[in-house]
Structure 1
Amino acid sequence: MNESLDTAVEYEQHKLLWEKFRLGDKASFGILTEKFYRPLYNYAMKLTRDDEFAADCIQDLYLQLWERRGFLGKSENVKSYLLKAVRNKIIKESIRLRRFREPEDLDFIADKDASIELEIVATESERQKIDHLKKLLGELSKRQQEIIYLRFYQNLEFAEISEVMGLTRQSVANLLHRTIRDIRSKWIIPFFFCILLECIRL
């Protein structure tokens, strides 16, 4: 079974669990919350430096989902739906707690311990290249860092990123193209950069 087929099957499994959850199946809801907690937490921690606040937002979101399950609609992509929901939850709670005033003030924290560091390469010179790439990623704007994270760490497609970030699909494509172009313009060996960027896919 190829990767695209695996993904399609997984999407269908998530949709089935979502439908059962909407009908009040606690077991299905438990599977969904456990399945997506880590991706949601990792994403939340990119949006806030407060691990307790991130965890509280996710728990509040889960509670609200269960309480409002009968009013929720069908979801074609449960993962992107939940990522968008936790993003909105963090924005809403941050404004309520006066952490910032507007959604545009939302911070995005560059990953200092990202999977890009995992056993991709072995030699010191190659590690230096990885450090250089991490530095370049850290110099990107908040939205550029966020779209790189969603595309290459969460493996979301353009339509899914569009839903999470509240952008049009064309805006997502333009932003990602501009972000990669910005990194490439500062990278000495474009081919090696492409390999590294591919390696951060989970």
Structure 2
Amino acid sequence: MANTPFDINNFHEDEALIKQIKSGNYDAFTLLYNKYIRQLTQYGLKFNTDLPIIQDCLHDVFVWLWANRHKLAIHHSVKSYLFKAVRTSILHILEKKNKLRTLHPEEGNEYNFELELSPENLMLQDENREQIRVQIEGLMRKLTAKQKEVIYLRYYEGLNFEDIAQNMNLSVKASYKLMGRAIATLRENVPSSQVLLIILLHLH
């Protein structure tokens, strides 16, 4: 099918892009890809730092998306849909490669998810920066992978709890509880409100 002519400036809304993609507009598909590929890559690298693996997963997701464009049924946000698709693809590949943890899945540690500090963004005196960095790294080790993931999706990707629940295969209530436990763990171990604020502002 020939591309439907459209003004690219009028199609920044994801739902409009999906409508055009479903009608066979490859320019809209390219725009959606370019809009999210960097965020999706960064998200994928939280699970595994092997960039070729992550790139393969992203490739598979977008190939599938285009091949199945006519029957796409997106019930939540498009961003959440893409994040879930990438997450599912990555965990499937890692499971096949035996790179997932299998012990104590009830603790949320059946996979890795890493949050890191951006020290260049810290508005602190140099003599305090290293101390804060060490404290935060210690705090991150107290969180499960799922707790770190819910913090990332909420504070850095801006997903609402319905989208987080959809993305992580949880109920909305469970996603709230997961966030609550994560924040409670941080508060129990944070020496000051300043450090908690730094965590929420400067982790990536």
Asked whether the equivalents of residues 47 and 106 of structure 1 are also in contact (C-alpha less than 8 Å), the reply is no
Distance (Å, rounded) in 1 between the aligned partners of 2:101 and 2:133: 36
Alignment partner, residue 43 of structure 2: 43
- Cα 1:76/1:175, change in 2 over 3 Å: closer
**CA drift at 1:120:** 3.1
CA deviations on 1:3-27 (whole Å, 9 max, x unpaired) are xxxxxxxx97011111111111101
The equivalent residue for 1:183 is: 186
The answer to whether the 8 A contact 1:120-1:199 is kept is no
- Aligned partners of 2:142 and 2:185 also within 8 Å: no
2:21 aligned with 1:25, yes or no? no
Specify every segment of 5 or more residues in structure 2 that has no aligned partner in the other structure, as ranges: 1-10
Structure 2 CA distance for partners of 1:64 and 1:136, relative to 1, 3 Å: same
> What secondary structure sits across from 1:161 in the alignment?
helix
CA distance in 2, matches of 1:75, 1:33: 19
Out of 153, 157, 174, which is 1:154 matched to?
Answer: 157
Tell me the secondary structure at the aligned position of residue 93 of structure 1: helix
Q: 2:39, 2:21 → 1: CA distance? A: 19
The corresponding residue for 1:136 is: 139
The aligned residue for residue 196 of structure 1 is: 198
- Give the distance between the partners of 1:179 and 1:74, measured in 2 at CA: 29
Question: For each residue in 1:80-137, what CA deviation from the matched residue of structure 2 results, as whole angstroms up to 9, or x when unmatched?
Answer: 10000011111222333444486x575223233x44x343313035412243123312
RMSD: 2.4
SS in 1 for 2:13: helix
- Normalised by the size of structure 2, how large is the TM-score? 0.82
User: How many residues matched?
Assistant: 188
Q: Cα offset for 1:75?
A: 4.6
Establish whether residue 145 from structure 1 lines up as the match of residue 155 from structure 2.
Answer: no
Distance in 2 (CA, whole Å) between partners of 1:201 and 1:27 is: 34
d(CA) in 2 for partners of 1:126 and 1:52? 37
- Tell me the residue number matched to 1:168: 171
Q: Deviations over 1:67-87 (max 9, x none)?
A: 111111145411110000011
Mapped to 1, the partners of 2:110 and 2:18 lie a distance apart of 29
Larger % of helix: which? 1
Matched position secondary structure for 1:183: helix
Contact 1:46–1:109 at 8 Å: present in 2 too? yes
**2:186, 2:196 within 8 Å by CA — same for their partners in 1?**
no
CA gap of 1:192–1:52, structure 2 versus 1, over 3 A, is same
Does the 8 A contact of 2:84 with 2:168 survive in 1?
Answer: yes
Fraction of identical pairs, as percent: 26
CA distance in 1, matches of 2:61, 2:87: 10
Counting only pairs closer than 5 Å after superposition, residues 52-131 of structure 1 correspond to structure 2 as 52-100=52-100, 104=105, 106-112=110-116, 114-115=117-118, 117-127=119-129, 128-131=131-134
The answer to whether the Cα contact below 8 Å between 1:14 and 1:78 also exists between their aligned partners in 2 is: yes
8 Å CA contact retained: 2:154, 2:164: yes
Structure whose CA Rg is larger? 2
